[in-house]
Copies of this chain bind each other. A is one copy, B any other.
């Protein structure tokens, strides 16, 4: 969890007067205490809860931004049955959420990062500008790989997408609260899963003329699939796979053996 506050903190910088500043140590404590008091649930809801708290709790804060990374765990199977208390880290992909609360308004940006995708064919790069320093050969068939970061902002402001407004009826007991939290989490989870699936599917099925075009199509597909997504940003550094030249050894290499560069560029 990362927290930042914005507001009238001028004196802390200019004169060193800290009276308006809530120490980062207190912000850290708040995260732990809220995890116990309220539970975490969907990271989107927990980020909203924390951001609202800081805007309320800190008089000088006009806005708060809370970012959360969620690391996935899978339950371990023992003798074909799920074990009751043992888990394995799911992989390197991380689910992200950022809630920003400014006065009475709020918005949520969900996302993911380090989703490593690879197409072993169905990707070309040709017809590009050639200048005096160009030695790259055009290719009609290459490996395309990337570590995807995606972040999308929901138009639904601070309520989970596709969920009705909360029932204002008087029966809003603790059980109803817990149930509302579950419903909310299910809505965030379902939206996240759907957008992730659309991104991966478009990456897979599009014949790519370049990574830029692939990203454009992936983002467009997400916006079309979910009307409650207002905007989406994608970042996808090329993880180049270079065909190794095996001709010095009397061997053809028709797209079979690659050098996977470990420093992304492009």
A residues contacting B by CB (< 8 A) are 9, 12-30, 32-33, 35-37, 57-60, 73, 76, 78-79, 83, 85-92, 115-122, 125-136, 200-201, 203-205, 208-210, 212-213, 215-216, 238, 244, 246, 248-249, 251-253, 256-257, 259, 262-263, 265-266
Contacts and interface: CB of A to CB of B under 8 A. Distances in A.
Given A26-B134, A115-B88, A259-B32, A14 B128 contact: no
A129 to B, nearest CB: 5
A246 B36 CA distance: 9
A266 to B, nearest CB: 4
A16 to B, nearest CB: 3
Contacts of A263: 262-263
Contact of A135 (B16, B26, B216): B26
B86 A22 contact: no
Contacts of A118: 73, 86-89
A232 B76 CA distance: 22
A61 to B, nearest CB: 10
Contact of A92 (B18, B91, B131, B135): B91
A216 B14 contact: yes
B133 A18 contact: no
Instruction: Count this chain's copies in the assembly.
Output: 4
A11 B88 CA distance: 28
Nearest to A25: B136
A249 B132 contact: yes
Interface centre among A121, A203, A249 (most CB of B within 10 A): A249
B26 A131 contact: yes
Given A14-B213, A89-B116, 18 more contacts: A13-B216, A16-B212, A17-B209, A18-B128, A22-B134, A23-B129, A23-B136, A30-B133, A32-B259, A58-B129, A76-B117, A83-B205, A86-B119, A86-B204, A89-B91, A89-B118, A91-B92, A92-B92
14 contacts: A16-B212, A17-B127, A36-B253, A36-B256, A37-B251, A58-B129, A83-B204, A85-B119, A86-B117, A86-B200, A87-B117, A87-B120, A92-B92, A262-B263
B24 A213 contact: no
A251 B18 CA distance: 28
Contact of A128 (B23, B28, B36): B23
A135 B28 CA distance: 10
Nearest to A219: B13
Contacts of A73: 118
Contacts of A129: 18-23, 26, 58-60
